[in-house]
Homo-oligomer: A and B are copies of this chain.
Amino acid sequence: MAKTRLSRNRPRTTPLARAKPRVTLIDYNVSAFTEREVANPAECLPYRQADSVTWINVDGIGHPQLIHELAQVMGFHALTVEDMLNTDQRPKAEDYGEYIYVVAKMLDLNPHGEITIEQLSLVIGSNYVISIQEDPSDPFEPVRDRIRHAAGRIRAMGSDYLATRLLGVLVDRAFAVTDRLGERIEELDDLVAGRERPEELRAMYQTKREIIYLRKAVTPLREVVAALWHTESALIHDSTVPYLRDLYDHVVQAAERVDTSRDLLSSVQDLYLTRVSNRTNTVMKIIAVFSSVFMPLTFITGIFGMNFEFMPLIPKPWGFAISALSMLAIVGAMLWYFRRKRWL
């Protein structure tokens, strides 16, 4: 995964990203509700000044032309459009007066359980929210359902509340990802406690790098939400502030969990390294025991294997017994020594 991350800043031309983005529009107020697909950005124009709240969602940024047209219809600054199309932005909130432009990173787990990072652009206007996702996977269905069924207070609140809700979905996903991360670290911990294998080592460093990217995605979100919370822009109403404070709490928690994961992983890594050192030590002791026991013994057999014509003990009947006893004495002495050293 680290590689995918590292190469993100280079142009991506995957077939998916190239597919024509799907644009959906939901318009609602306390009493009414419309939902439809938008084929031509110009259709959005009437909603720019409407009394209802309009949420335009773009799934995928593969067709820059479409984004450009939408931006023109909605009256965005050229820099906003540029940022929308550059998926390598860091999370930020920029107040352009008429609207607030928010960039955030959407974490997710793909079917293989790998962590993916996708960019979400939000434009919060006085009566609309535009959300632009990098890939056509859509996590906002629950929010849509709440709007459709007028669940909770969402239909009664403005566009700022809707944006807070969308960011809330994003933070909930981050929690799912940090939960998965926690599980993975537990698995690594169990693996390290058992027998070490090369794959586990690889997985450990893979996870470490994922955490580097997660931090980069989650930590700046703190300032983004804090900026929205404390903004003086009239686009954020007082009634939404408690929800932003709550969102802020969640973001801080998510960021702390990533940090905790990092600390835990680094502790697992330390344990791993210490175990390797300990194992090396144990292996050395085995070598030491065998060397110090058998080298002297083999030397003694060597002595009596020499072919001198005149040698002591050789012709004696108790010669072999004496050599055998001296060998036993050596074995005994070495074993006593190693036991005292507590190696055996």
Q: Taking beta carbons and an 8 Å cutoff, which residues of A are in contact with B?
A: 2-3, 6-7, 9-10, 77, 79, 82-83, 88-90, 92, 94, 96, 175, 179, 182-183, 185-186, 189, 193, 195-196, 198, 201-202, 205, 208-209, 212-213, 216, 242-243, 245-246, 249, 252-253, 256, 260, 263-264, 267-281, 283-288, 290-317, 319-320, 323, 342
B201 contacts A253, CB within 8 Å? no
Q: Give which listed residue, B189, B246, B299, contacts A301 with CB less than 8 A.
A: B299
Please tell me how many copies of the chain the complex holds: 5
Q: Give which listed residue, B296, B307, B312, contacts A294 with CB less than 8 A.
A: B296
CA distance A284 to B270 in the complex (A): 21
Contact A319:B313 (CB < 8 A) given known A209-B267, A271-B205, A295-B298 = no
Chain A at the B interface: SS class: helix
B270 contacts A92, CB within 8 Å? no
B323 contacts A319, CB within 8 Å? no
A270 contacts B267, CB within 8 Å? no
A208 contacts B304, CB within 8 Å? no
Name the residue of chain B whose CB is nearest to the CB of A271. Answer: B205
Contact A6:B185 (CB < 8 A) given known A242-B77, A249-B90, A276-B278 = yes
Chain B residues positioned under 8 Å from A3 (CB to CB): 186
